[in-house]
Chain A
Amino acid sequence: MRTSAQLQVYRHALPVRIGHWLNVVCLSILIMSGLQIFNAHPALYWGDRSDRERPLLSILPVRGNNGEVRGITTVLGFQFDTTGVLGYSDHSGRAFPAWATLPGPRWLAMGRQWHLLFAWVFVINGLIFTAYAIIGRHFTRDLLPTGRDLRTIGQALKDHLVLRHPRVEEAKHYNVLQKIAYVAVIFLLAPLIVLTGLTMSPTVDAAFPWLLTMFGGRQAARTIHFLACFSFVGFILVHITQVIISGFFNNVRSMITGWFMIKTEQGARHEV
């Protein structure tokens, strides 16, 4: 008789789990303290200079003719009224609101200290993870998409759109979209945000002038840093959504204990 049962799979090794939760802490703090730093000069530019009349983006409190202050966000010349969230919130002019920044009150020096401390943790964690992933073959075995993976990309996209989630054997491995997303975030986006962050140091720029060249200037690097930050935010939102719709408790448990439950029709090992 074929019965539905559950199979326990050891899905996440300890170094992966530690690295993952450290990243949760680091990214939360880096993003929030980064927004505090951004609030000190809430505009982005391209090139080396800040030509204040030509920002790519600005988030400013603006007093209208009636004396009322509105939060105005300008992106590439297009203006949006973002009062209450961006530019003006809690009765004060500030680009990002207090609930989104660390520390909550305006305090550039303290925001920078939080940012630099957790930048160190983020970088060291990333280097340890990378060493583990390469030496322990986590990278080639689990993360790097294979040729066969890439051929299934169309089907995987279709499955994701109709929210069909993998069961049984295929649930033991990351699917091709997961692999691409994880590799891109860990090995492209994370180094990009670290390197653009370093480019904001005039001392580092003197030592490694090619960084300025590579990113198109000091202000361009700052803009890319900000875009990379929001790519992280976007990834996190999609990631959490996927975690929720593909079985929140099972996913979170596997990222804490390592063990993931898979529904099988011939359960090799029954869960008690």
Chain B
Amino acid sequence: MKSERPIKRREFLKGAAGAAGALAVSGCDNLTASDWFPKIMHATEHLTGLVQGIITPADALAKEYTEADISSVFPANGNTDPGTAEYAGHMRQNFSKWTVEIGGLVDRPHAWSLVALKAMPARTQITRHDCVEGWSAIGKWTGVPLGDLLRSAGPRSNARYVMFHCADIDDQGISYYESMALADCFHPQTILAYDLNGRSLDVAHGAPLRLRVERQLGYKHAKYVAKIVVVDTFEPIGGGKGGYWEDQGYEWYAGI
């Protein structure tokens, strides 16, 4: 007997594409399809994010584990290969030409090669990854604190969010992107990781660079990070909700 997965995880996460048609089954599903009810749910999301921000000290660290706690298998979720010709070229070159740039509302836009990033002071942390689906895995991540990069770029006073643009695109050609509050980027555990469990990140886990933001759910941890843009609002970008998964209905604060 082998385990069957009649629907791919990705499709599950994206939600029933034709769900609206299948709704109207029950009263609650009618509410889901109404104009006003989702607005209440959206307002709740702001409330939850707000309360979470109030009760969480800004410098609180996510729990760090020991080597013995590391998961034997760290599942890879979402896109497991960007699948573009450009990315394939980088793979062939072992990512030696990969750069990450910081631009937008900063005084000193800058691009770093992967080699330059690896030469910078690094942080290693053994942390728990909580997927929105419900599973957790523990891995050891090594990377550059994002705050170090941002400080050298010098965010301007009107900077509020940091956008992460990634090399992967989905089956409809939409580029993956994410965003975070600027303040969270300076948290010591927020790193641009290049190693997982002591080895270079593999393609499935986001090679060569992925964001680790340990106090938020897995879908915030953007893989294949290529470009970082500091902005004052994310509303004009993508679906306007601040990230690929957020545009599919997932919460921007992603704490629970």
Contact = CB atoms under 8 A, between A and B. Distances in A.
A and B from one complex: yes
Interface stretch (B80-88, B203-211, B248-256): B248-256
Contacts of A206: 56, 60-63, 214-215
Interface stretch (A14-22, A97-105, A182-190): A97-105
B134 A40 contact: yes
B72 A116 contact: no
6 contacts: A61-B3, A61-B5, A62-B1, A63-B1, A204-B256, A222-B134
A200 B256 contact: yes
A92 B22 CA distance: 15
A112 B251 contact: yes
Given A106-B15, A202-B130, A51 B72 contact: yes
A48 B250 contact: no
Query: In the complex, which of the residues B28, B52, B250 has the most CB atoms of chain A within 10 Å of its own CB atom?
Result: B28
A52 B77 CA distance: 15
B12 interface: yes
B16 A63 contact: no
A105 B16 contact: yes
Given A64-B1, A105-B23, A113-B249, A50 B137 contact: yes
A204 B52 contact: yes
Interface string A150-181: 00000000000000000000000000000000
B47 interface: yes
Interface in A18-43: 29, 32, 37-38, 40-41, 43
Contacts of B174: none
Interface in B49-73: 52, 55-57, 60-63, 65, 69, 71-73
Interface in B205-243: 214-217
Contacts of A29: 28
A212 B130 CA distance: 13
A235 interface: no
Query: In the complex, which of the residues B56, B255, B256 has the most CB atoms of chain A within 10 Å of its own CB atom?
Result: B256
Contact of B255 (A37, A63, A93, A201): A201
Contacts, number: 172
Contact of B214 (A109, A114, A116, A202): A202
A114 B26 CA distance: 14
Nearest to A55: B135
B85 to A, nearest CB: 32
A101 to B, nearest CB: 10
Contact of B73 (A32, A52, A64): A52
B255 A218 contact: no
B32 interface: yes
> 10 closest pairs, A vs B, by CB?
A109-B249, A203-B255, A201-B256, A41-B134, A50-B135, A40-B133, A207-B56, A105-B16, A41-B133, A113-B41
A63 B13 CA distance: 23
Interface residues of B, number: 62
Contacts of A92: 6-7
B174 to A, nearest CB: 16
Contacts of B135: 41, 43, 50, 52, 219
A212 B133 CA distance: 19
Contacts of A103: 19, 23, 28-29, 32
A129 to B, nearest CB: 20
B2 interface: yes
A108 interface: yes
Contacts of A203: 52, 56, 215-216, 253, 255-256
A69 interface: yes
A50 B136 contact: yes
Query: In the complex, which of the residues B1, B4, B62 has the most CB atoms of chain A within 10 Å of its own CB atom?
Result: B4
B111 interface: no
B22 A49 contact: no
Nearest to B256: A201
Contact of A110 (B12, B15, B60): B15
Nearest to A87: B4
Nearest to B55: A207
B94 interface: no
B55 A218 contact: no
A218 B130 contact: yes
A107 interface: yes
A219 B135 CA distance: 7
A154 to B, nearest CB: 43
